[in-house]
Amino acid sequence: MEKTESPKTLSSPATDLLEREENWDNQILVKYEGTWYVDFTLQPLLSARTNFRAKDGDVIVASLPKSGTTWLVALALSIAKRGLYPPGQSPLLTAHPQEVVGSLEFNHYLKHDNPDLEGIPSPRIFSTHAPHVMLPDSVRESDNCRIIYICRNPLDRFVSVRQFLLANLVGMEEAAPPAIDQEFDKFCRGIDVCGPFWEHILGYWKEHLENPRKVLFIHYEEMKEDPVGHVNKIAEFLGCPFTAEEEKQGMAEEIAKLCSFETLKNIEANKQGYLHATFKKSTFFREGKVGNWSNYLSPKMAEDIEKIIEAKFKGTGINIKTKFHTNKGTD
Ligand code: PAP
């Protein structure tokens, strides 16, 4: 469904009136309608919520930070646009996945209230860390947009965020990293980018249960176990299952391989330069493992998160996979 009304220009929300927290990396989080946003991403998300005009076939890749966004956008692009970009001619061979697929808040709406996105060839793919309630109105209302959500266990996410920030803050790698306890405490209280994490996950989970044709819910840990199965699942969900001919050619396997951690990490374009002007591209490919948290977090911390998971997700039917592997990280 496409909206026809004229775009609205939003006045900046008075972020100085919102509840705020300063993180150890100097990032400011502001609380808006119950969710914590990095301060400068709130206005872009509000603009996108109002002004984005969904088109049939649009694909939104949604996630909490460090849940596997880079991996999923690479897969969505390679699957949905394989006619245009077969794996051997993929733009992923020469650019970071998140340069090829832009984010609503970090790219398209960052500097413009109402960017012209009409020229992007269909199917258009966008990523976002927004919770479901903050998605563009036209996406939530449309029957013909597809949303793919990737959920990763909170322990690995917490560690991935921390290591990412340490690697990107000048001097932090060499200096003693700031104590983890305070940061962990905030995370457990839901003060986390686009958190509380349980609200974010449950928002998409509920939509998935209500409309599985529109919202696909993927677990990072399960996709690690069976990438090819997930490539097939995503292709079917997007309405472009592999043909018999493509199956014979091993297209799903080729796409899974192109988008694998090992392949992407070793592509020259992902080894140097910056994304969003600040983050080293290489730091989007750190370990890519399940259970890596046990190298960094104490058993007590894991227990604290388990208790939160038990309390928040009980009876919802989601299986948050902290217990998938608890060794030193597996491929
Ligand atoms: P973002 O939220 O900043 O966009 P995102 O791509 O969601 O980051 O997450 C990065 C994590 O996904 C990293 O996890 P780690 O710190 O535990 O290692 C990164 O290594 C992992 N990752 C990136 N690409 C892949 C991939 N192709 N397969 C599996 N994991 C991947």
On the question of pLDDT at 179 being above 60, the answer is yes
- State the residue range of the domain holding 124: 20-313
Is the torsion defined by CA of 294, 204, 236, 270 positive or negative? negative
Task: Please indicate whether residue 276 is annotated as part of the active site.
Answer: no
pLDDT for residue 175 = 59
Distance 153 CA to ligand 1 centre (A): 13
Q: Is 153 in the pocket of ligand 1 (CB under 6 A)?
A: no
Assigned domain for 47 exists: yes
Assigned domain for 108 exists: yes
Element (H, E) at 221: helix 220-225
Alpha carbon nearest to ligand 1 atom 30, residue:
288
On the question of pLDDT at 296 being above 80, the answer is yes
Q: Is 264 in the pocket of ligand 1 (CB under 6 A)?
A: yes
Least confident of 3-12, 159-168, 314-323: 3-12
In sequence order, the 6+-apart residues with CB closer than 8 A to the CB of 322 are: 153, 154, 155, 302, 305, 306, 309
Least confident of 47-56, 101-110, 162-171, 225-234: 162-171
Distance 65 CA to ligand 1 centre (A): 9
**Mean pLDDT, rounded, for 289-314:** 94
Distance 22 CA to ligand 1 centre (A): 24
pLDDT for residue 3 = 37
Q: Is 293 in the pocket of ligand 1 (CB under 6 A)?
A: no
Between CA 32 and CA 85 the distance in angstroms is 39
Tens of pLDDT, residue by residue over 18-35, are 999 988 788 899 999 999
Alpha carbon nearest to ligand 1 atom 16, residue:
160
Distance 224 CA to ligand 1 centre (A): 12
Alpha carbon nearest to ligand 1 atom 5, residue:
66
Task: Indicate the pairing of strand 28-32 with strand 20-22.
Answer: antiparallel
On the question of pLDDT at 282 being above 90, the answer is yes
Alpha carbon nearest to ligand 1 atom 12, residue:
68
Q: pTM, whole model, 2 decimals?
A: 0.94
Assigned domain for 321 exists: no
Q: Which is the catalytic residue, given 96, 108, 129, 132? A: 129
On the question of pLDDT at 310 being above 90, the answer is yes
Between CA 274 and CA 61 the distance in angstroms is 21
Distance 284 CA to ligand 1 centre (A): 6
Domain tally for the chain? 1
Of residues 97, 100, 105, the one with CA closest to residue 51 = 105
pLDDT for residue 331 = 52
Distances (CA, A) of 221 to 143, 184, 230, 325: 29, 22, 11, 9
**Mean pLDDT, rounded, for 300-312:** 94
Least confident of 7-11, 80-84, 170-174, 243-247: 7-11
pLDDT for residue 9 = 47
pLDDT for residue 309 = 94
Q: Is 65 in the pocket of ligand 1 (CB under 6 A)?
A: yes
Assigned domain for 256 exists: yes
pLDDT for residue 2 = 35
Task: Provide DSSP, 304-316.
Answer: HHHHHHHHHHTTT
CATH of the domain at 76: 3.40.50.300
Which numbered atom of ligand 1 lies nearest the CA of 160? 16
Q: Is 103 in the pocket of ligand 1 (CB under 6 A)?
A: no
Which numbered atom of ligand 1 lies nearest the CA of 74? 27
Assigned domain for 330 exists: no
Distance 146 CA to ligand 1 centre (A): 22
Q: Is 66 in the pocket of ligand 1 (CB under 6 A)?
A: yes
Assigned domain for 124 exists: yes
Tens of pLDDT, residue by residue over 73-121, are 999 999 999 999 999 999 999 999 999 999 999 999 999 999 999 999 9
Q: Is 225 in the pocket of ligand 1 (CB under 6 A)?
A: no
pLDDT for residue 278 = 87
Q: Choose the residue to mutate in 27, 66, 328 for probing ligand 1, maximizing ligand atoms within 8 Å of C-beta.
A: 66
Distance 164 CA to ligand 1 centre (A): 10
Residue 227's pLDDT band (boundaries 50, 70, 90)?
very high
Contact 265, 285 (CB under 8 A): yes
